[in-house]
Structure 1
């Protein structure tokens, strides 16, 4: 009986596809406020079959977890300032959201080219 993530190695043609999906798939999962699900599932399924896919999925997963933590901190700051923090937090969230989209696109392009990408300001929980 095989365990998740075990099995034969992925063909090179599929490696780039799954690595790209680990990054760009967060846009779909983000509609449900769970952007981390796509890279998590890809990491769990393919970590033993492709080092390239594993690295890309882990990087994307760590970035999504970091974004979730930064968002939680922003919400707490707004709450403890009784809403006055909104004047600072909302512009930062807009800038952060645009920056997140840009780096996700850059990571997807890097994965499609067979290159690794390191997201900025990422806390690396999963290795």
Structure 2
């Protein structure tokens, strides 16, 4: 779904698309919840709503990318560079999903920056 195309979308579809992004914050409570939360919502609703299919894949791909980045940053902590990157990484991983929540709540498809798209 492209963000420049505006289609009539139900409030329910917008909400479920937004929930895909909100679910990433489950990772602050449960290990790997940032991936499992969006994955569960995506698997439940992807066939019902195209918007949820698109936004669920985006949220999952971004969180897998962030998991890989966090492993790299932790490895870089051994050479002290990682300690400089940790606050930047944390802020980035907090702010970008919030932007995605706001955009998707309006029915706009959000594409995460710096994201490896594992699920297409």
The reply to whether residue 100 of structure 1 matches residue 75 of structure 2 is no
Take 1:36 and 1:20, find their aligned partners in 2: how far apart are those partners?
15
- Which string of whole-angstrom CA distances, capped at 9 and with x for unpartnered residues, describes residues 82-105 of structure 1? x3x2x3212212111101211111
Q: CA deviation at 1:30?
A: 3.2
In the alignment of these two chains, the number of paired residues is 111
Q: Secondary structure at the match of 1:25?
A: helix
Task: Give how far 1:123 is off.
Answer: 0.3
CA drift at 1:116: 0.6
- Unaligned residue ranges in structure 2 (runs of 5+): 1-8
In the other structure, the counterpart of 2:29 is: 31
Contact 2:75 2:82 in 1 (8 A): no
Q: State the alpha-carbon separation in 2 of the partners of residues 63 and 96 from structure 1.
A: 13
Deviation for aligned residue 1:42:
1.1
Deviation, 1:29, is 2.9
Alpha-carbon distance in 2 for matches of 1:30, 1:51: 28
Q: In structure 1, how many angstroms separate the alpha carbons of the residues matched to 2:108 and 2:66?
A: 23
| Aligned mates of 2:115, 2:27 — CA distance in 1 | 19
Which one has the bigger helix percentage? 2
Secondary structure, aligned partner of 2:114: coil
TM-score normalized by the length of structure 1: 0.81
Separation of aligned partners in 2, 1:20 and 1:89: 32
Larger Rg: 1
Q: Which residue of 2 aligns with 1:40?
A: 39
Give the Cα–Cα distance (whole angstroms) in 2 for the partners of residues 16 and 33 of structure 1.
Answer: 27
TM-score, L = length of structure 2:
0.85
In 1: Cα distance, 2:28 partner to 2:35 partner: 8
